[in-house]
Amino acid sequence: MAQCSTNYFNKITLNWLKQYVDFNWPPGRFLAGCLMTCLLASSLAAAESRRADHVFIISFDQGDPDLIQQSEMPVFQQMAAEGAHSWNAFTIVPSLTLSAHTSMLTGVGPQAHQILWNDYQPAKGVVKLPTIFKLAKQRGLKTAMFVGKEKFKHLLLPGSVDAFIWPQPDDGALSVAKAFAAQVKTLQPNLCFIHFRDPDTQGHKYGSHSPEKKMALKDCDLALGIIKNAIAEAELTNSVIILTADHGSHDIKNNNGKIAGAHGSAETCDVVIPWVAWGKGVKKNFAVTAPIIQYDTAATTLWLLGVPLPEYFWGRPVTSAFEVTAEQPN
């Protein structure tokens, strides 16, 4: 896609050059040749700096790392074991769904993106800073979002997401995964965000480490399996899948004196999240020891796709999770 855009750009440039340079005059031809060579070299450099053609970010809402390790989640656990993983990554504060996902997908903290509310409020419009979808689109890449909550519409900058899917009336993980599986081959997104709401729903209702939440995580793992198979069936072999969460959780007593789950604080149980990279170029069976913060997912994604990181980014790519070959600059 990026190369198509570059070829189109080169064709336009060639036509533009013809207005000013006489191609029948040998020095003119030489000059035009030099310019076109430079353009071609820059487009090849962009393609070479791309480490993956597709990045899939999968977020488990309220996905506490300890509970993920204790639950029946064979797909997640196998991907963590086969790939690079940290069970001690951090989210931002406030550890709330919309603020945290905005950091995950803009590369900055909440002080910079200012999405400080946590429900869908259409009057507040969309995030003021570019999302990674916007930055990827500017490089001619294809983007998609499959989500389980309407509030992600606050991240929909105009023209930034080719397909925004919030399945209705059922927006559970299996429904999201089936929608993804039905469309991935057609869409072939270079950047795709997928969100599973189920553990958050059950966690709030029954408690942060309740059997009901474990069952929700089991469903998410089935959904993850569907997504992983769909990517393989679509033959998107040059892909990286990142598994992470917006925040963890803790228990509170609700008005009836019953245990319920909550989050939002800077306490360890709320801010520690899992982070797994799996796929093309990812180190095998590797425990990441470098600190990972929520906005590093945005930076890692752009770095993998060969999209330059904006200077204002707080996030840094988690380079230690990937094999760096001689041809690929660090």
Question: In this complex, which beta carbon is closest to Zn ion, that of residue 61 or of residue 171?
Answer: 61
From the CB of 105, what's the least distance to Zn ion, in Å? Answer: 14
Minimum distance from residue 160 beta carbon to Zn ion (Å): 22
> Which residues from 124-183 bind Zn ion, rule CB under 5 A?
none
Rank residues 53 and 270 by Cβ distance to Zn ion and give the closer one: 270
How near is the Cβ of 121 to Zn ion at its closest, in Å?
16
Q: Which window, 56-64, 76-84, 128-136, 180-188, contacts Zn ion (CB under 5 A)?
A: 56-64
**Between residue 83 and residue 122, which ones bind Zn ion under the rule CB under 5 A?**
97
Under rule CB under 5 A, residue 53 binds Zn ion = no
Q: Are 238 and 214 in contact (CB under 8 A)?
A: no
Shortest approach of Zn ion to residue 97 CB, angstroms? 3
Question: How far is residue 2 from each of residues 5, 137, 245, measured CA to CA in Å?
Answer: 5, 10, 30
Of the residues 61, 64, 198, 219, which one makes contact with Zn ion according to CB under 5 A: 61
Contact of 187 with 202, CB cutoff 8 Å: no
**Which of 102, 190 has the CB closer to Zn ion?**
102
Q: Which is nearer to Zn ion, 174 or 262 (CB)?
A: 262
- Min CB(198)–Zn ion separation in Å: 11
Distance (Å, whole) CA 198 – CA 100: 17
Under the criterion CB under 5 A, does residue 198 sit at the interface with Zn ion?
A: no
Q: Quick one: which of 77, 44, 52, 48 has its CA closest to 321?
A: 52
Q: Name which of 219 and 246 has its Cβ closer to Zn ion.
A: 246
8 A C-beta contact, residue 296 and residue 315 = yes
Shortest distance (Å) from residue 125 CB to Zn ion = 21
Q: Rule CB under 5 A: which of 238-297 touch Zn ion? A: 246
CA distance 315 to 55: 17
CA distance 265 to 246: 13
Report CA-CA distances (Å) from 189 to 25, 59, 60, 98, 276.
45, 17, 20, 23, 20
Give the span between the Cα atoms of 141 and 306, in whole angstroms: 10
* Tokens read off for 108: 């900055």
Q: According to the binding rule CB under 5 A, does residue 221 interact with Zn ion?
A: no
- CB nearer Zn ion, residue 239 or residue 294: 294
Residue facing Zn ion at closest CB distance: 97
Task: State how far Cα 15 lies from the chain centre.
Answer: 38
- Select from 171, 200, 219, 221 the one that contacts Zn ion (CB under 5 A): 200
Tell me the number of residues near Zn ion by CB under 5 A.
4
- Least distance CB 238 / Zn ion (angstroms): 30
Q: Which helix (H) or strand (E) holds 244?
A: strand 239-244
Instruction: Measure the CA–CA gap between 270 and 263, rounded to whole angstroms.
Output: 6
Name the residues that contact Zn ion, by CB under 5 A.
61, 97, 200, 246
